[in-house]
Structure 1
Amino acid sequence: MPLKRIITIILILIVAASLIAAFTIMPGGPGRKSALPQKQIGVITLEGVIMSGSSGFLSAAGTDDILRQLHDAAEDPDIAALVIRINSPGGTVAASQELYQEALRVKESGKKLVVSMGDVAASGGYMVSCAADKIVANPGTTTGSIGVIMEFQNIEGLYDKLGLKENVIKSAPHKDIGSPTRPMTEDERAILQDMINEMYGQFVDIVAKGRHMDVEEVKKLADGRVYTGTQAKKLGLVDEIGNYYDAIKIAADLAGIKGKPVIKEYGKKSTLEALLSGVKSIVNTFLDPAFGIRLPADPGTTLPTWRDFSHHSYFLDYLPDKVAQSYLYP
């Protein structure tokens, strides 16, 4: 399909979504308050690749929004328990650690914390889960993937075929570590391996603390492999097999809430956001690798260069979520 036609379709969908939202979004009256009972269960959804920044249109799960929601839930006196619904393959190490730490603060505020796993809650998604009092997974949930990976592409051969040569001026020997236009040295590999080993140790410690397991016991399970929800329960990586509503019930029981609990959803999408989310799904279909199209997450950014694409984490900024998920697992 011609690129011009695809762009036209995308623009039409965005304009249509905006027009529909303009007629459907009705603000509430001034001073309107709801007579809700004090004890409520908060729900936060973590979906997509975890990375620092905001969750914008066509982007992954930015930590800024989730951190704010976790903080608000911890400060909300009406919330007795929080359920984090996770559907994420992981993300960057630091971003996953940020969410884990903030989730711990929810527990420190005296609230019960339950994680409900969706299709996948692996790697960084599992790291965040380890902050919970209880982890609930579906039988077929993909979880685990306890480990860290760092990848670099080498396009030196491509440069040779194109007759290109890169001139590098650097202040120190390792300033261009991971350069895609030359082989990696043994010293550089050792430096990066030390980083990986340290981050791996941090991950293992988080799992050991959250699951009340011995570090050596965790290491036997932390070889990077994924597990089904059923396997994870047998291994002690999750607590219960169940769906979202089972997680809500468990949270209510932990918080001592009797009867049907009142649910408060944080970050719930407005009509416009819901429509744009639908447009995003359609756009991601058009942005399938088969079309050979790459669209920046931020419309104001420039298109990537070969050097940009050679760096592993850069893919998250330019590939649609469903493609990026297969590239980065912290």
Structure 2
Amino acid sequence: MKFGVTVVPRISDWKLFVDLEAMGYDAAWAADSQMLYSDAYATLALAAANTTRIRLGTGVSVAGVRLAPVTAHSIATINKLAPGRTFLGIGTGHTAMRVMGKDPVRAREFREYLRVLRALLHGQEVDYALGDGEKTDIRFLHPDRGFIDVEHPVPIYVAADGPLALKSAGAYGDGRVCSHNQTRTRLQKSLETMREGARGVGRTLPDTFHTAALSYACVLQPGESPTSDRVIDEVGSMAAATLHYWWELYLKDGDTSTVAQRCLNLWDEYLAFTEKMETPAAKRYQQVHYGHCAFLPPEERRFITEDLIRSTGGLVGPPDEIIAMLREREAMGLNEITLLPAMDTARRNLEEFADKVIARY
């Protein structure tokens, strides 16, 4: 099992990446959401120039806000600073798009995006159409002049859950990113769907195919519970992000199929809470996503229950309990856990996890 951290990138706090390397983490993923945080690639550039070992990448970059050649160019530039330890997490934009009131990229468009991206990052020429326009052939013209690095491989880790996205991940990805609370059955079914996608383009999914899960953690101190104030301070923002996700699906077409059974009463309370927000309904997505994964608005604190933490896969408990959870996930086929704590308590939270969990794992 590898251990990573998803960082809410604040450009002035780029030294957190240096600290993560010193703590012993294997990878640092910079979240990408243009209406919420600093630019992921600018932050990664500072991190790459000031670290030597830790793997660096996006967690995850958003197809809907950059053209495929731009994304390839940006991560290949980071790869020039950190050759061989750069990766690209890429997704359709469940937050970055919805925080603008837009839908994520459609599965068919995402597949084409990945096809172009993979070719460029392998130094190949590829046919490319801008929007619905005519296809033209594109390639990086000066890869040997020090501008970018496509000589050292940049693995592509695709955030995928639906069948079409999973097939695309198998066809063009080197790994998959998912949520930590997925069951063994779902993980295995997803893997088979990705194998099917790989076969569709004449490819065999390699044994090195990487599987990473986004989660959060807090090592409990004696006498603490999962809903102690300190714990909510450290993990509340990430737990609340699931409520935001449920709300988006409900808003779109009334879908509540992803709401955890043990959280149905909580969901009803949260939905009533959103309906009383002062923000007009047409712009309510702005208020719902306020603080998303970075900090917890005080009015949302009451929704961080033990049921929510458990149903979203939070690694909250004494060290032995967390290690047991991780062993179970590793046996299910996960290669990496990446943690996303609240910004203000990130260093303390991650250092304690490194000292009390990673060191004993």
TM-score by length of 1: 0.34
Q: Which has the larger radius of gyration?
A: 1
TM-score by length of 2: 0.31
